[in-house]
Amino acid sequence: MEIKAIRGFNDILPDEIGKWQFVERTAREVFEGFGFSEIRIPILERTELFSRGIGEATDIVEKEMYTFSDRSGNSLTLRPEATASIARAYLEHQVYSFDPVAKYYYIGPMFRYERPQKGRYRQFYQIDAEVFGVENPMVDAEIILMLVHFLKKVGLENLELQINTLGCRKCRPRYREELKAFMKNISFQLCEDCQRRLETNPLRIFDCKVETCKSAITEAPQVTNYTCPDCQGHFDRVKEYLAVAGLSYILNPKMVRGLDYYTRTAFEVVSYQLGSQNAVTGGGRYDNLFQEIGGPDIPGIGFAVGIERLVSLLPAGKEFVSSPHLFVAALGEGPAREAYKLVYELHLQGIQAELDYERRSLKSQMRRADKLKARFALILGEDELKRGTAMLRNMETKSQEEVPLNDLTSTLKQKLAI
Ligand SMILES: [Zn+2]
Ligand SMILES: [Zn+2]
């Protein structure tokens, strides 16, 4: 029986990879320009990092993690997100002791046991950015500016930035109680999952996708009415800094973010491209995370963008697949050997050259050059070889000329403008 990939695990073939590389390259350029450094973290972590960091009463920890025991009986989990791991690395290496301010970015796969749907996989890819050690609202605005700039650079249009504040350890409990009281009154209208969330984590009811739940909570109390003066002041300054940079936003008091560790500033970017509304990405501040995973009191803020989503929103018509600069077609034994040597020399010079391995007719070699979308073809025959030349054909204009082989590299570089 033929062995297939696991359900929800996806291959990305070379004809798709150009888009991925473009997105990743743009992220690196933009983030490094904003002073962020790349960090690399393992795919496997101890399960308690996520159960404590993300919170027991979340969908991720309750039902979406890939958790298993290793041969020594340790409970391990394929990371469902990157923030907890990056925070763990920062603590473990005591980065804060020599420089408390850290700006990191990370690109890699995450794993969640969700129902696979179109464009949604169990192994999916995220681009993450995190700032640790800064409480100043300036950094909240700065990371949002970087995110929006990155999305524009990738080519997304019609973006809307939504922001909210979620309160802190001081003011959030009172809001939680008020919310719980409200939810208790309407609990008969809630789905089974939400009935349970009511006890464990009432904030999560806002994330429920069930229509009856959505309409039952339209009148629910809003967190912004319960924030303490400190949180309110912090949020006002975030808005001020966004305004100073000329970035517009809308306030969305219903945005609560999926994970437990978020505090204060929360943000999402929505795209209205192609007439439909898509939440492209989101993030927020998480000033309690470090203590939850056993560290000192260190503030943090960050975001994650799903690469699959970005790739699906890339503007159409842009060329992402690279095609060879040159296809070398050879006729006969001597020219074939010469073609082999020539292509090797061109590769050393960074020129993408392809040749025919099958000794086919000129016609079928040219067909292959067409199929590969080569920009030029070089035709090597016995007669030309004797003169030390070859025919160079522009595959687009179909014009051709005889060129000397001894300075082929510089001729090509000039014509290709590389
Ligand atoms: Zn507060
Ligand atoms: Zn529900």
Q: Residue 83: which residues within 8 A CB-CB, separation 6 or more?
A: 53, 128, 130, 261, 286, 289, 300, 302, 304
Question: Is 260 a residue whose pLDDT tops 70?
Answer: no
Q: Rounded to two decimals, what is the model's pTM?
A: 0.89
Find the 233 Cα to ligand 1 centroid distance in Å. 9
Average of per-residue pLDDT values in the chain: 92
If pLDDT is split at 50, 70 and 90, which confidence band does 258 have?
Answer: low
How distant, in Å, are the alpha carbons of 45, 46, 133, 275, 410 from that of 91?
A: 14, 15, 11, 44, 53
Read off the pLDDT of each residue in 70-84 and give the average, rounded to a whole number: 96
**Does the pLDDT value for residue 387 go beyond 80?**
yes
pLDDT over threshold 90, residue 364: yes
Q: What is the mean pLDDT of residues 340-348?
A: 95
CA of 169, nearest ligand number: 1
Neighbouring residues of 376: CB distance < 8 A, sequence distance ≥ 6: 325, 326, 327, 392, 393, 394, 395, 412, 415, 416
pLDDT the model gives residue 315: 80
Cα separation, 277 vs 160, whole angstroms? 10
> Letter for the amino acid at 105?
Y
If you measure from the C-alpha of residue 57 to the centroid of ligand 2, how many angstroms do you get, rounded to a whole number? 14
Radius of gyration of the chain from its Cα atoms, rounded to whole angstroms: 28
The residues placing their C-beta within 5 Å of ligand 1, an ion, are 167-168, 170-171, 228, 231
Tens of pLDDT, residues 156-192:
988 999 999 999 988 888 888 888 899 899 989 999 9
Phi first, then psi: give them for residue 270, nearest 5 degrees.
-110, 140
- Report CA(209)–ligand 2 centroid distance (Å): 7
More confident residue, 194 or 145: 145
Structure tokens at 105: 């970015």
List strands edge to edge, sheet with 44-46.
Answer: 44-46, 75-78, 66-69
The three-point CA angle 329-335-340 to 5° equals 70
Confidence band of 316 (pLDDT split at 50, 70, 90) = confident
Q: How far apart are CA 95 and CA 76, in angstroms?
A: 25
| Nearest ligand (C-alpha, residue 229) | 1
pLDDT average, residue stretch 182-206: 87
Model confidence at 287: pLDDT above 70: yes
- From the CA of 214, which ligand is nearest? 2
Decide which of 208 and 240 is more confident. Answer: 240
**What is the CA(305)–ligand 1 centre distance, in A?**
27
State the pLDDT confidence band at 344, using cuts at 50, 70 and 90: very high
- Rounded distance from Cα 56 to ligand 1 centre (Å): 23
Reported as a pLDDT band with limits 50, 70 and 90, residue 35 is: very high
Backbone angles phi, psi at 56, to 5 degrees: -60, -40
Tallying the residues shown for the chain, one arrives at 418
Answer whether residue 116 shows pLDDT above 90. Answer: no
| Centroid of ligand 1 to alpha carbon of 171 (angstroms) | 4
